[in-house]
Amino acid sequence: MNNQRQLFQRLFEENSKRVYHLCYGYTGDSDSANDLMQETFIKVWQNLDKFRNQSQFSTWIYRIAINTCLSYLRTAKRRATEELNDNIIENYTEEPSEKQEQIALLYKSIAQLEENERIIITMVLDEVPYPEIAEVAGISEGNLRVKIHRIKHKLTEIYNSNERV
């Protein structure tokens, strides 16, 4: 049990920031992202003994996080929209810095991408190695590089159109 606890602690330390960013990319809300990150790691803890070493731990954790986010979005779509609107109204009362506005616009733009594009670009932003991203996405590394180029182009267009709004 002690070894399992140490392994979990190491996995959390190594993967929690990336999982948070992935969750934030899905929700656009830091509280929801934190909740989903915690839920992801609860599932990791509960299923740690079922891990079969067929992939890297980080890949396995990403898949759990993606499924957790998708489940959240399916069951709480209306509530999430209301919360997001409330957060937008709430955030207008504070004066955000230009950098904070750019980051928020980037995540808003990422949220407009297709699901698989969001997953890939979030991992790129988190500097996940390309072979690992390719494994999570289920494509070859060569195909991944082409997809990343196209996603960056699409994201730039979305970002620029959002910036004008």
32-91 pLDDT, tens digit per residue, is 899 999 999 999 999 988 888 777 888 889 889 988 887 887 776 555 455 555 555 555
The pLDDT value recorded for residue 151 is 92
Name the architecture of domain 1-94.
Orthogonal Bundle (1.10)
The answer to whether 21 and 122 are in contact (CB under 8 A) is: yes
Global confidence as pTM: 0.58
Domain ranges of the chain: 1-94, 97-165
Instruction: Give a three-class secondary structure readout of 42-81.
Output: HHHHHHHHHCCCCCCHHHHHHHHHHHHHHHHHHHCHHHHH
Q: The domain at 97-165 falls in which architecture? A: Orthogonal Bundle (1.10)
Of 21, 28, 20, 16, whose CA–CA distance to 77 is shortest? Answer: 28
Q: Give the helix ranges, DSSP H, for 76-114.
A: 77-92, 98-111
